[in-house]
Structure 1
Amino acid sequence: MRILVVGAGATGGYFGGRLVQASRDVTFLVRPERARRLRERGLRIVGLGEQTVLTPRLVVTGEIGSTFDLVLFSVKATGLGQAIEDVAPAIGPGTLILPVLNGMRHIDALAERFGDPAVLGGVAKVVTTVDADGDIVRLADLQSVTYGARGAHAPEPLAEVGRVLGGAGFDTALSGDIVGEMWAKWVLIAAAGAVTCLMRGTVGEVVAVPGGAAFAEAAFAECAAVATAAGHTVPREALAFARQTVTTPGSPFASSLYRDLVSGNSTEGEHIFGDLVSRARRLGVSVPLLDLVTMHLRVRQNRVDTSQAATAGPAAGPDGLPAR
């Protein structure tokens, strides 16, 4: 099975790198600047005592010459539209697309462009970042991919997807309710993002002040209420984990959205919060805290967009695809 990994950043770089280590047939789709860096330094996975250097096969945007069997979509939501156009030549009649973006909006965009049967559901869990050298830095020992068909009928090559992903250095699971799994992760990242972005601090810093824990509980409750109203009640174990994530005293945890925010980068605010509050409106769910964080991030994103427009234009992000 020929695999194309779209994006070589914190998520795609990590999982794609592990697949390369496992001798799978993997190619990375990257932009010219990211390709140059990878050819000079290699794809490096570092942190937690690891110093892995790989020399992956690369294809630059605009130069795809064949189709692939499986496309692992791992770009930030802010670069989704351009990435869809970049990857189009790689999608053939039998290609399966496994997106591991946050939220749900990307599913509609991919299905509209490439057809609903081609698009699987996916959830990636990994705690990594990209440093100034473009290396993938592991921050915690967590790495898993859950995948599955979104409809009642699984595509025939799904079993082969399990074979190529399995045994590659990260946990994998085939889910019978992948849409529910995606909603469960959405609740977690939205709650964590709301708490850390609105309060501009880690979970531990928020819950350390009077009212902090109650605020975190309220933000979590709003996210869970939207999922329930949408028909995807988060399982009890996942709910407990999400609640613990945003209320643990002393926790150094901060969401990736918060890290983008304080670093001055574009965020996935619309994909994570804009879409969530839009669904809440349609479902009649009141989400005042989610409304607040959405407005906050939109004001801030307008400032970022204005600043970028005043310069030479958007630069490539650390994964070699559109800036994020």
Structure 2
Amino acid sequence: MKVVVLGAGALGSIIAGHLARAGEDVTLIARGDRARYLEENGITVTGLAEFNTPCAVASDPSILTEADVLIVAVKTHDTEAAIASLDHLKIPSVMSVQNGVVADAKLSKVFGEANTVGASASFSGEVLADGAVRFTVNAGFYIGELPDGTSERVQGIAAMLERSGILSKAVSNIRTVQWSKFVTWVGGMPVAVLSRLATYKFCSDPDSALICARLVKETAALADAAGIPLQDSPPMPIMEIISGTEQEAVGKIGELGARLESEAPDHRWSTLQDLERGRYLEVEETLGYVVAEAAKEGIPVPTVETCYRLINGINRIQQSQRRP
């Protein structure tokens, strides 16, 4: 399969690097200094995997003439502009590893519903100052047909990724997987950004863990209103958090913190990494989506809304202070 990975941040680099190392035909679309670095040095991955590999890099998407699979790994607020640069291609399988639950609709609009595949990435990393990528969590890359079901194509893509070293699986309930991951993500991102702590640290503290629990419960109520069943989404045991008392939820999140301290002490939320680098934060398409949809359904989400407005303010102020 000819694979194009759109976006050379942590996830895009991890995916493209693993596929390139495995001998797959992969092109990574990157921009500016990042593209030049990758062309000169290849992709270096550290952490859960240790390797350096050359990889085809394209800074001008218009030069691409064909692809079998497109994996979108840009930030959510860059989606429309990024995929528009590839609308000249007929790509039979397009998927997103972005945060949130709105990407599939955007991809379908450009590439067609039949060509859009559901995906959810429960793996993570961080681009380091030297240009390498630290691979911190490898919990799963899930792929499925929309709105549900599997097929030969998703099984083939999952098998290709699995062979490369990224834990991958074709699933028949991709909407559940996507929403469960989103609930987990909303449960941690705001606390990571507002505390600026490594993930295990804020999970281990009872007060910050309580905020995580409330964020999970409120977002899960929105999924329930949409008729989407949830399931545990590694690493967070969201089903026990949702069904238990707040005190029980804090205990479960504390257990997660202890496990992360042992297994992934370097894990930091990607949005926290963006904040520290002065980048635009993924707020509107994620927390903003929860607030807007909850208002339509009449579902109270006070913790999500408070975090949304705080982080939106931080985002706006930080961007206004950037040099032109």
TM-score (norm. length: structure 1):
0.84
Counterpart residue number, 2:313: 299
The number of equivalent residue pairs is 306
Choose which of 194, 199, 215 in structure 1 pairs with 2:190.
194
Counterpart residue number, 2:82: 83
Contact 2:118 2:143 survives alignment (8 Å): yes
Partners of 1:193 and 1:225 in 2: CA distance: 18
Counterpart residue number, 1:133: 130
Contact 1:203 1:247 survives alignment (8 Å): no
Counterpart residue number, 1:273: 287
Partners of 2:127 and 2:208 in 1: CA distance: 30
Counterpart residue number, 2:246: none
Q: Secondary structure at the match of 1:166?
A: helix
1:259 counterpart = 2:255: no
Question: How far off its partner does 1:113 sit?
Answer: 1.8
Question: How far off its partner does 1:264 sit?
Answer: 2.7
Unaligned runs of 5+ in 1: 312-324
Question: How far off its partner does 1:11 sit?
Answer: 0.4
Task: Indicate how the Cα distance of structure 1 residues 18 and 303 shifts in structure 2: closer, same or farther if over 3 A, else same.
Answer: same
Contact 1:203 1:246 survives alignment (8 Å): no
Task: Indicate how the Cα distance of structure 1 residues 147 and 258 shifts in structure 2: closer, same or farther if over 3 A, else same.
Answer: same
Counterpart residue number, 1:8: 8
Q: Secondary structure at the match of 2:68?
A: strand
Letter in 2 for 1:148: G
Partners of 1:197 and 1:164 in 2: CA distance: 34
Task: Indicate how the Cα distance of structure 1 residues 54 and 209 shifts in structure 2: closer, same or farther if over 3 A, else same.
Answer: closer
With 249-258 and 129-138 compared, the bigger mean Cα shift is at 249-258
With 78-87 and 271-280 compared, the bigger mean Cα shift is at 78-87
The 5-angstrom pairing of residues 1-324 of structure 1 reads 1-48=1-48, 50-89=49-88, 91-92=89-90, 94-140=91-137, 142-151=138-147, 157-202=153-198, 205-206=201-202, 211-235=207-231, 238-240=237-239, 246-248=253-255, 254-308=268-322, 310-311=323-324
Contact 2:204 2:254 survives alignment (8 Å): no
Q: Secondary structure at the match of 2:10?
A: coil
Higher relative contact order (CA 8 A, sep 6+): 1
Contact 1:191 1:246 survives alignment (8 Å): no
Task: Give the aligned CA root-mean-square deviation in angstroms.
Answer: 2.6
Partners of 1:150 and 1:6 in 2: CA distance: 21
TM-score (norm. length: structure 2):
0.84
Task: Indicate how the Cα distance of structure 1 residues 56 and 215 shifts in structure 2: closer, same or farther if over 3 A, else same.
Answer: closer
